[in-house]
């Protein structure tokens, strides 16, 4: 499902114009991104959490050049689904 599909589905289910729904979806995504860039987690009860994970500095190998490289410590965005969300996905069996 793409962002356009989500906008169409919400517009169909709520009766709100697609343009308004698209602005709302874009605003939601931008707010989540800005919050995570600032180092804050976003919690959506019953859906999941958008969290900032901290990765430690580590040593890796560049196989093509056969050299060792250092990957500095960095943050990455991650999503952790809520338990109720996981349960619903697991219980849904596709036929």
**pLDDT over threshold 90, residue 93:** no
Give me the mean pLDDT over the 4-15 stretch: 96
Give me the mean pLDDT over the 60-84 stretch: 93
**pLDDT over threshold 70, residue 31:** yes
For residue 92, what pLDDT is reported? 79
Q: Are residues 77 and 92 in the same domain?
A: yes
Q: Are residues 34 and 1 in the same domain?
A: yes
Burial of 22 (0-12, 13-18, 19+ CB in 10 A): middle
What distance in Å separates the CA atoms of residue 76 and residue 36, rounded to the nearest whole number?
Answer: 9
The β-bridge relationship of strands 67-71 and 74-81 is unpaired
Q: Are residues 74 and 91 in the same domain?
A: yes
For residue 95, what pLDDT is reported? 61
Q: Are residues 64 and 23 in the same domain?
A: no
Q: Are residues 4 and 20 in the same domain?
A: yes
- How many Å is the Cα radius of gyration of the chain? 19
What distance in Å separates the CA atoms of residue 48 and residue 43, rounded to the nearest whole number?
Answer: 6
Domain holding 21, by residue range, is: 1-40
């Amino acid at each position: 499902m793409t962002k356009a599909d989500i906008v169409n589905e919400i517009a169909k289910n709520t009766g709100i114009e697609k343009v308004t729904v698209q602005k709302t979806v874009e605003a939601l995504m931008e707010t989540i991104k800005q919050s995570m860039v600032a180092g804050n987690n976003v919690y959506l009860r019953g859906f999941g959490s958008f969290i900032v994970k901290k990765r430690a500095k580590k040593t890796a190998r560049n196989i093509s050049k056969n050299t060792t490289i250092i990957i500095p410590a960095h943050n990455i965005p991650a999503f952790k689904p809520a338990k109720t969300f996981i349960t619903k996905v697991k219980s849904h069996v596709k036929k």
